[in-house]
Amino acid sequence: MTDLLRRLMRTPQGAIGLILLAVLTAACLFGPWLAPHDPEKMDFLGRFRPLGAQNWFGADQFGRDVLSRLLVGARSTLPMALAATLLGTVAGAVVGTASAYLGGRWDEAIMRTIDAVMAVPGLLLALLLVSTLGNGAGNAMIAIAVTFAPGMARVTRAVALTVRGQDYVKSATVRGESASWIIFREMLPNVMAPVVIEATIRVSFAVMLFATLSFLGLGAQPPASEWGLMVAEARHYVHQAPWIIIAPSLAIAMTAIAFNLLGDGLRDAMNPRDER
Amino acid sequence: MSASWLLRRLALILYTVFIVSVLVFGITQALPADAAVTLLGENATAEALNAIRERLGLGDPIWWQYLRWVGHAATGDFGLSMRTGQPVGPEMLTALGRSLLLAVAAILVMLVIAVPLGMLAAVRQGKLADMATGLISYLGVSFPEFVTATLLAMLLADTLQWLPATGYVSPLEDFGGALRHLALPVLTASLILVAHVARMVRSETLDVLHSDYIRAARLKGLPERTVLVRHALRNALLPVVTIVALDVGYLLGGIIVIEEIFAIPGIGRQLMVAVTARDLPSIQAGALIMSATYAVANTLADVAYAVLDKRIRYD
């Protein structure tokens, strides 16, 4: 693990990604204490106050401190995206590995069905699911997880197919182990590396998708300071205060960049073949 | 490419549409909305509600309702919109036309930008142009559509006043106006695709540039221009066809947000309106038409790939 971390730090993408991730984690863990102001405190004299000493990132339409809202909002954005990715990855990994193990007609049927589900554009599927489950952050999280699962299943299956031919899987079959033992104990642990890389990159999609759902009014609900919601609320005040749009936009982009870089860094670090 | 391969692809489209129809029907049935109440309002009498439930067949078994819906949908009849009372099918198809205009324009703009950019990055590997392309790609895939759209509208429409911020003009009525109104949405939609495809073109071109036949072409003494355009470009572009098809999926999803922000009455915006109003027939029709469009686009890409690459034989 420390070895992986060291190799990750040696790639430029990995290093920058890790630093950005550290900043985000700090915001999630200590956001309320780091925030210079109360994120909910309104100040009608300070409406649309520009960037300056009093409000570093300016103040919004209610005179609330934008920086404080961003810091506290990290909590309602990032953990949701992580949970959605984790849930979708686990579900997808199990289905993908099982499909590769079963092979033959089962594999064909499962994969064609997954292809079909993937023919529904991601945002559309998430939108339909949220409208069924009801608006809200938790339901948006579940919808994103369901949206991600088919893609993860496809990736996992591709890897699992190569694992399936390995001697240790054959020997487990000959030993007479049950299907679930072979899938969960023999195959799954050995497909994890590429799946983790894929999942890391997916977190950036999850962040964007979650923010988009919130932007459309289906995800996090006011007065939460979820970043997508902050952009949606700020749109009416473009003329008065562009910074209340720019600040949360950049926060979303920074998070997405962090996980994209981290994923690329992991890919390099986990591929010992490329080491020179 | 054999006839049986084409038949299999067609069967796959049908299977896809079937699964999607079950998915869409299942989801909309689970929606916490009573169609009769949505139609008549909260204050309707019990008799009136029962009469309309009878007429819509809401008491029938669920599989029968599904079959009836699919049967009608196959003939283009998606029922009447609960919001407007108009037939949903024609409404959605008109909207799809506007969305496709936006999507095709976005793909064209993307190709014009992304292909030269990706090739430039590959030829100048490790140099400034390469790093700039890498940076653009990273930024492009890291901004969700609603952020790009909002920031672009802020810059080009509000601050500089170059383009109208919202609205739709039919290109048949006023071509110049249509272009001006489409500029921002198309720009937004193509930015993410550019990031994606430029990266892909770069890595494919790099692979091709390190291949034996490029070495051979260079050793023959062909000018670098000819080597790049005649030999490298054609082979590097093949896999891009597939990526573009996959991006149509992104595009159709992204269109929901883009049309919502720029107030374009395409299928994405119709769908958002339907979701907000809990207009079941419109949601069903919109979702099914969008997914079918994507499935068809994917198949067309596969066929194009097979036609372009003579080495691949599908049978």
Is A47 inside a domain boundary? Answer: yes
Share the mean pLDDT of chain A: 81
Q: What number is the average pLDDT over the span B156-164?
A: 75
Q: Which residue of A has its CA nearest to B247?
A: A121
Task: Give the residue from A258, A246, A228 showing the smallest Cα distance to A23.
Answer: A258
Is A276 inside a domain boundary? Answer: no
Confidence of residue A19 (pLDDT cuts 50, 70, 90): confident
User: Which alpha helices (DSSP H) does B124-211 contain, by range?
Assistant: 128-142, 145-152, 175-209
Q: Which residues neighbour B232 within 8 Å (Cβ) at sequence distance 6 or greater? A: B119, B205, B208, B209, B214
Task: Give the residue from A205, A112, A122 showing the smallest Cα distance to B287.
Answer: A122
What is the tally of structural domains in chain A?
1
Is A139 inside a domain boundary? Answer: yes
Q: How far apart are CA B66 and CA A24, in angstroms?
A: 47
Q: What is the pLDDT of residue A276?
A: 35
> What does the pLDDT look like over A160-209, one tens digit per residue?
888 877 888 888 888 888 888 887 777 777 777 788 888 888 888 888 88
Q: What is the CATH number of the domain that holds A162?
A: 1.10.3720.10
Q: What is the pLDDT of residue B163?
A: 75
User: For residue A245, what are the domain limits?
Assistant: 2-269
Best of B16, B22, B146 to mutate (most A CBs within 10 Å, chain A):
B146
> What does the pLDDT look like over A40-52, one tens digit per residue?
777 666 666 676 6
Global confidence as pTM: 0.84
A81 touches chain B (CB under 8 A): no
Is A126 inside a domain boundary? Answer: yes
Q: Please list every residue in chain A whose beta carbon sits closer than 8 Å to the beta carbon of residue B30.
A: 132
DSSP structure class, residue A65: B
Q: How far apart are CA A128 and CA B283, in angstroms?
A: 8
Q: Is A104 left (phi over 0), alpha (psi -120 to 50) or beta?
A: left
Q: What is the pLDDT of residue A111?
A: 86
Confidence of residue A145 (pLDDT cuts 50, 70, 90): very high
- Cis? peptide before A223, omega within 30° of 0: yes
Which of A182-196, B30-44, B258-272 is predicted with the least confidence, judged by mean pLDDT? B30-44
CA distances from B76 to A135, A148, B70, B92 (A): 31, 31, 10, 10
Which of A245-259, B7-21, B52-66, B277-291 is predicted with the least confidence, judged by mean pLDDT? B52-66
Q: What is the pLDDT of residue A275?
A: 40
pLDDT greater than 70 at residue B112 = yes
Which of A126-135, A165-174, B49-58, B196-205 is predicted with the least confidence, judged by mean pLDDT? B49-58
Q: One-letter amino acid identity for A117?
A: V
Give the residue, B117 or A66, on which the prediction is more confident. Answer: B117
Q: One-letter amino acid identity for B163?
A: L
Is A275 inside a domain boundary? Answer: no
Q: Which residue of B has its CA nearest to A125?
A: B287
Is A166 inside a domain boundary? Answer: yes
Q: What is the pLDDT of residue B32?
A: 61
Confidence of residue A86 (pLDDT cuts 50, 70, 90): very high
Q: Is B307 left (phi over 0), alpha (psi -120 to 50) or beta?
A: alpha
| Inter-chain residue contact B31 with A216, CB threshold 8 Å | no
> What does the pLDDT look like over A242-263, one tens digit per residue?
777 888 888 888 888 888 888 8
Neighbours of B256 (CB within 10 A): 28
Burial bucket for residue A55 (CB in 10 Å: 0-12, 13-18, 19+): buried
| Inter-chain residue contact B249 with A119, CB threshold 8 Å | yes
Is A147 inside a domain boundary? Answer: yes
State the Cα angle at A123 between A118 and A127, rounded to 5°. 110
| Inter-chain residue contact B256 with A245, CB threshold 8 Å | no
Is A38 inside a domain boundary? Answer: yes
CA distances from B178 to B153, B170, B186, B257, B270 (A): 17, 6, 12, 19, 19
Q: What is the pLDDT of residue A88?
A: 92
